[in-house]
Chains A and B, each alone.
Chain A
Amino acid sequence: MEFLQQLVNGVSLGSIYALIALGYTMVYGIVKLINFAHGDVFMVGAFIGFYSITILDLGFFPSLLISMVTCAILGVLIERIAYKPLRNATRIAALITAIGVSLLIEYGMIYVRGAQPEAYPGNLIPATSIDFLGVKVSSQSLLILGTSLVLMILLQFIVHKTKIGKAMRAVSHDMDAARLMGINVNNTISATFAIGSALAGAAGVAFGMYYTKIEPLMGIIPGLKAFVAAVLGGIGIIPGAMVGGLLLGVIESLVSAAGFSLWRDGVAFVVLILILIFRPAGLFGKNVREKV
């Protein structure tokens, strides 16, 4: 039963990773950029959620919505100001800029509101838990899992059934050909950033609910781990990010259950190095032959 319990915890944690990983993977799929600032968008999302709950006295879902919208705007701003001028620059320049944006958001946040942590209010939803086959599932875990599932299904719908989703798939396949076909590449990329950042914002609120403690540097480690999840599933592949996130969450929970909780953060990176060595294209990726 202990094993099942850890599995449930792992899935809740993993769904948060999956939400962040989706943003990474979508952005990487379309502009081939590791958006290091993504973890900090997640942090901003957690804070927006916190302030709308405590100051505006809103419930969980309105706060979630506000957080998602604000993060989407932030994501588009980051893309337009920092990344768009570098679209044809070298990869290193883009990566360094992403690191710069990440540091700017983190320390800008500390500068604006100080480095002290905040505690999410615990009475947001009734704290009941359901016993299912001897496993205790808290209402929070259920809410987080449910929210992520709905968002992921929504994302699948957007990507596969709408016009903008079609444009996103076209641009990630071949940017120049898409432009020739009359697709507005800049708007499509902005839309990708908006959707990815909105998901990160939702993940931020979910994270705050689950762990209760939020602080300005909280985005770094979950951000990196979500990136690991994206690589695990095959970067640029949307179902891969979901599976990778859930898998990573479960692996972490099992490692802490086995009594190595201090090594938990290390495991994600061991997984990363192993996957990069043995299957660099990820679980869902196809090997691409290099052409000269």
Chain B
Amino acid sequence: MNILKGAKGFWSSIVLAVVFGIVMQFLITGEIINFFYVNTLYFIGINIILAASLHLIIGITGQFSIGHAGFLAVGAYASAIITMKLELPFSLGLLAGGVAAAIAGLIIGIPTLRLKGDYLAIATLGFGEIVRIIFLNIEYVGGASGMTVTQLTTWPWLFGSILLTLLVIRNFTNSTHGRACISVRENEIAADAMGINTTYYKVIAFAIGAFFAGVAGALYAHNFFIIQPTNFGFLKSFDILIFVVLGGLGSLSGAVLSAILLTIVSTYLQSYPELRMIIYSLVLIIMMLYRPQGIMGTRELTSFFKFGKSGKGGVNDDSKQPVA
């Protein structure tokens, strides 16, 4: 009975989301909302995918990765090569971006995920920088001057990708594998002792996160007209990290919410770039000093509607310890 009830909420939220997507599509094609807002909407969408993908790595599996822009770059360049150089359709480019980033995730994840905490953070940061420097030095993709890309990102593609990302990550979190990942986050040694193959789950979560970051990269590349290695520096990684941390580590809806909020805020502060970064960093510091668990903590948006009824031990359980 419980399963049915959960499934009902699940399907109704999907129907609601699809209705929202179709309405937005009409608003965009009917030119009811102007170009500026459409562009902001696309940015929000791409950032939601990025935040959700990093949430899986940091929030669920507890692996502190700060080189996420590297996967974004791999996805962006891989998809741009598919559509621009090989002249294949965009759908294939989207897939190729994801797969290339996932492979990059496996290559970097298998050796480095043996590291813990700060060391892992620095290794992933180094990876992100290496990716940027590699693209900077490959003439085939334009080197420092970058690569021109036609705009192919449309709302249906973007919306479909967001929906797919959120669905896969939500369902993964609630599956056996997701719970194994959570146990790795809570205590790796204990998880190991309980017979969980911690390395396997860390790498899996890393690869899935990288895949969706790659998809976001493909969408990003085909929305931006030009991609340059400087777009994927570690400031970009920090941006994504900030979405996840500000939203609350371990909360998918928190990550999505803060991605939306911060994208809107930074769009409005676009004309004052220094001030924007100063406000950004002050918010970050003050948030960490006074509310280190983020806006949502580890709770999800849905848990606010089920007063006191959240299942014990699940992802929505409020009694959990904050992420280390």
Contacts and interface: CB of A to CB of B under 8 A. Distances in A.
Partners in one complex: yes
Interface of A: 32, 34, 82, 85-86, 89-97, 99-104, 106-108, 110-111, 115, 220, 224, 227-228, 231, 262-263, 265-266, 268-270, 272-273, 276-277, 280, 290, 292
Contacts, number: 119
Interface in B229-246: 234, 238, 241-242, 245
Nearest to B289: A85
Main secondary structure, interface of B, reads helix
A34 B118 contact: yes
B111 A277 contact: yes
A107 B274 contact: yes
A95 B121 contact: yes
Given A82-B285, A96-B241, A263-B133, 18 more contacts: A91-B117, A91-B324, A95-B64, A95-B121, A99-B238, A107-B274, A108-B278, A111-B275, A115-B274, A262-B133, A262-B136, A262-B137, A269-B130, A270-B126, A273-B111, A273-B126, A276-B112, A276-B115
Contacts of B289: 82, 85-86, 97
Contact of A90 (B123, B275, B292): B292
Nearest to B246: A96
A273 B127 contact: yes
Nearest to B187: A292
Main secondary structure, interface of A, reads helix
Interface in B104-122: 111-112, 114-115, 117-119, 121-122
B118 A91 contact: yes
B133 A265 contact: yes
B152 interface: no
A111 B238 CA distance: 20
List of 8 A-B pairs having minimum Cβ-Cβ separation, nearest first: A100-B284, A269-B126, A103-B281, A107-B277, A266-B133, A104-B281, A93-B292, A100-B285
Contact of B245 (A32, A92, A107, A228): A92
Contacts of A268: 126
Contact of A34 (B121, B123, B126, B322): B121
Contacts of B112: 273, 276-277
Nearest to A34: B118
B228 to A, nearest CB: 15
Nearest to A270: B130
22 contacts: A86-B289, A91-B64, A92-B323, A92-B324, A93-B292, A95-B64, A96-B288, A97-B284, A97-B288, A99-B238, A99-B241, A99-B284, A101-B285, A115-B274, A224-B125, A262-B136, A262-B137, A269-B129, A273-B126, A273-B130, A276-B115, A280-B119
